[in-house]
Amino acid sequence: MSNLQFLTQDQIDQFHRDGYLLIPNFLSHDGIQEMMARSKQLLDDFTLEGHPMTKFTTGDSTEDKHVGDDYFLNSGDKIRYFLEEDAVGPDGKLNRPKVLAVNKIGHALHELDPTFRRVSLQNERLKALAKDLQFHKDPAVLQSMLIFKQPEIGGKVGEHNDSTFLYTDPPTALGFWFALEDCTPTNGALSFLPGSHKTNPLKSRFVRLPQGGTGFEPLPDAATEETPTTSESNKEDDKYIQPPCPAGTLVLIHGSVLHKSEKNTSTKTRYAYTFHMIESEPYAQYDDKNWLQPTKEMPFSKLFAVHA
Ligand SMILES: O=C(O)CCC(=O)C(=O)O
């Protein structure tokens, strides 16, 4: 007899086959309303006073650099605001209202904000799901973000996998991504390269550079579940799938699956909340070159502990 409490075996098989899984209606209508209201409150609370005007850039070309200033590097245990590139004019000032200028808020909402703590650490349904999935023996939660994809400027997130950014040995990152609004082809819905977690080795990792800032360091050994026979042809855009993703959907994202989202060209926002889990020691080692580091005051919280 099955001991599953939340997922079906079909869902678990689908996750392992494709490297992602959508769970529609994971959030209730009231849950979505609460998270949307809190997101808007956080944007209203944002003040530019003392803000270094840090923009969120993903650096997917050689000219563009990934964000890596101190405001970003020290945000792992704080609630900080990162701006859209196109929201800052040549004069260095915002060219639109602040609530329409923030790309994301991160990276300790799951620890510090009561609404997002409830969804992330105090969520019995989520714990049941994680137990069913058995992706980790002792999952730890880190790196929460509200991603807004602002109307007409919400920047694209280029093809990547999450274990590049939250590197453990062996790779164990797992993303939990919650749609707070309907995602559409024009407002920047997520798309995935199904099965790429098995065929595409992690090629590099995102590190704090010794001289300051961040960069990508090549990985000597490619870690995959299967032999990478088709990785190059897999990268063709036409093999990407953009699954329908209405508000309330939870998307599970394997740390090695390639995924991306396009620029928001619509007049509507696309709010999403996301956080990640990794395996804890001794089952995996979290790397001290990673951009996000636990602190003495805020170590990574274990999902299965009791959280007040
Ligand atoms: O929300 C998005 O558009 C991108 C999110 C993503 O790629 C991630 O969380 O890894």
Pocket-testing residue among 66, 261, 278, ligand 1, by greatest number of atoms within 8 A of Cβ: 261
Regarding the beta carbon of 76 and ligand 1, being less than 6 Å apart is answered: no
* Best mutation site among 190, 192, 242 for ligand 1 pocket (most ligand atoms within 8 Å of CB): 190
- Looking at residue 288, what is its pLDDT? 93
Find out whether the beta carbon of 175 lies less than 6 Å from any atom of ligand 1: yes
Q: What is the pLDDT of residue 61?
A: 44
pLDDT at 284 over 90: yes
Taking all residues of the chain, what is their mean pLDDT, rounded to a whole number? Answer: 92
pLDDT of residue 66: 73
Comparing C-alpha atoms, which of 57, 47, 51 is closest to residue 86?
A: 57
Domains plus CATH for the chain? 9-298 (2.60.120.620)
pLDDT over threshold 50, residue 293: yes
Instruction: For residues 87 and 259, give the distance between their C-alpha atoms in angstroms, rounded to a whole number.
Output: 25
- Whole-number Å distance between alpha carbons of 156 and 149: 8
What is the band of 253 on the pLDDT scale with cuts at 50, 70, 90? very high
Of the ranges 48-52, 101-105, 197-201, 212-216, the best mean pLDDT one: 101-105
Cβ of 154 below 6 Å from ligand 1: no
Question: How far is the centre of ligand 1, averaged over its atoms, from the C-alpha of 67 (Å)?
Answer: 15
What is the C-alpha to C-alpha distance for residues 86 and 106, in angstroms, rounded to an integer?
19
In the DSSP assignment, the letter for residue 87 is G
Q: Does the CB atom of residue 188 touch ligand 1 within 6 A?
A: yes
Lowest mean pLDDT, pick from 35-44, 58-67, 158-167, 295-304 = 58-67
Write the residue with the smallest CA distance to atom 7 of ligand 1: 260
pLDDT of 60 higher than 90: no
Atom 10 (ligand 1): residue with closest C-alpha?
162
pLDDT of residue 236 exceeding 70, the answer is: no
User: Does residue 243 or residue 64 have the better pLDDT?
Assistant: 243
With a pLDDT cut of 90, the percent of the chain lying above it is 83
Q: Which residue is closest in CA terms to ligand 1's atom 2?
A: 261
Tell me what pLDDT residue 59 has: 65
Residues with Cβ within 8 Å of residue 290, at least 6 apart in sequence? 165, 166, 167, 205, 206, 207, 208
115 Cα to the center of ligand 1, angstroms: 20
Nearest CA to ligand 1 atom 3: 261
**64-68, 198-202, 304-308: lowest mean pLDDT where?**
64-68
How many angstroms does the Cα of residue 86 sit away from the middle of ligand 1? 18
Percent of the chain scored above 70 by pLDDT?
Answer: 92
Q: Counting atoms of ligand 1 from 1, which one is nearest the CA of 261?
A: 3
**Which tokens go with 142?**
């880190």
- Digit-coded pLDDT (tens) for 8-37: 999 999 999 999 999 999 999 999 999 999
Q: What is the pLDDT at residue 230?
A: 40
Is the pLDDT at 58 greater than 90, yes or no?
no
Residue where the block lists tokens 């190059």: 232
Determine whether the shortest distance from the Cβ of 257 to ligand 1 is under 6 A.
no
User: 145-203: per-residue pLDDT in tens?
Assistant: 999 999 999 999 999 999 999 999 999 999 999 999 999 999 999 999 999 999 998 99
pLDDT at 220: 81
What is the per-residue pLDDT for 231?
Answer: 44
- Is any ligand 1 atom within 6 A of the Cβ of residue 259? yes
